Amino acid sequence: MLADAHFLGTSATTSASVRPPLAIGSLSLDGRAILAPMSGVTDVGMRRIARRFGASLVVSEMVASDDYVRGDEETRVRAEGEGVAPHVVQIAGCDPYWMGEAAKLAEASGAAMVDINMGCPAKRVTGGYAGSALMLDLDHALSLVRATVGAVQIPVTLKMRLGWDDASLNAPELARRAEAEGVQLVTVHGRTRMQFYKGRADWAAIRAVRAAISIPLIANGDCETAQDARAMLAASGADGVMIGRAALGRPWLIGDIARALDALPGCTPNDAERAGAAVEHLDTLIDLMGPLAGLRHARKHLAAYADHALRGDVSRASERLRLVTTDNPTEARSLLASFFDIEHTAAVAA
């Protein structure tokens, strides 16, 4: 257990412009912008980089509670937290026993916090009565919360949607009951499950959750800029923002937004620093999964890094295609670094 821990990163300051730290139980964060948990995306490489560049908190990919406890290797990799502090593991499931056991394992493995997923809209998750499907049965959802909170000493948080559909916007009730069970922070994605990721997130609808709870509230959905983040906070009444898809290919974005929310000077990395981070991310995945599996897992990241680095330059489309199809790690590193207009050797050394 990491009791009374105080985690300060690159955005910490004594400036009077900074609001009091956002506290989650015993944890005190250094900002108000969090990297969202995203399956297949927020691997440990991305989380390390995002945290280093100033993200206030980063959360693992969602892990199935029963697979995690049984020692499934792929699930273990998703929950990996080496080099990340504070380390947060997001767990999902529909059985109180497995949720409690998964929380215990996360704590024993060094997690400083456990997040419960009640927001994933994917059919493979909701079909097993997990993720956002739990919002259809709040009594059962609360049994999972109770088991998780009761299993550990570290803070437990909860991520949800507005509801299953427009006819059941029950996020305020779920959040209120979860707080009563000991949950110490709630994150709300401003869409229903039935919306998936269509349309725009309704930030104002999150305000009903703010009125229902006294613990910290995080708003999630369609935050891409500091201007978006300010608008989210104003509309929702939330204490912080969670950034997901917009961070793909630019994990430094969360730190930029965190600093902007606290009126601190920006420090967006230059091209050399971005190249170094992108190559580091690729190498982390190769080290973790092996050359072929790591490279293939990295492809979504490689494509996104390239797209942001090229800034719309279509003249290098053939090189980008090679980057996302090659099975040669050396070629991938060289191509990736080249998109940032610096020498490959400098990227590797960064």
Which residues are designated catalytic? 120
Residue type, 282: L
Confirm if 2 and 86 have CB atoms less than 8 A apart.
Answer: yes
Cis bond upstream, residue 155 (ω within 30): no
* CA distances to 108, 131, 285, 298, 310 from 314, in Å: 48, 39, 27, 22, 8
R_g over Cα of the chain: 20
CA–CA distance, 306 with 323 (Å, rounded to integer): 9
* CA distances to 7, 135, 156 from 23, in Å: 10, 26, 13
CA–CA distance, 207 with 185 (Å, rounded to integer): 15
Residue type, 218: I
Of 210, 209, 189, 216, nearest to 200 by C-alpha is 189
* CA distances to 155, 242, 277, 323, 331 from 208, in Å: 23, 18, 39, 45, 51
Of 121, 136, 115, nearest to 57 by C-alpha is 115
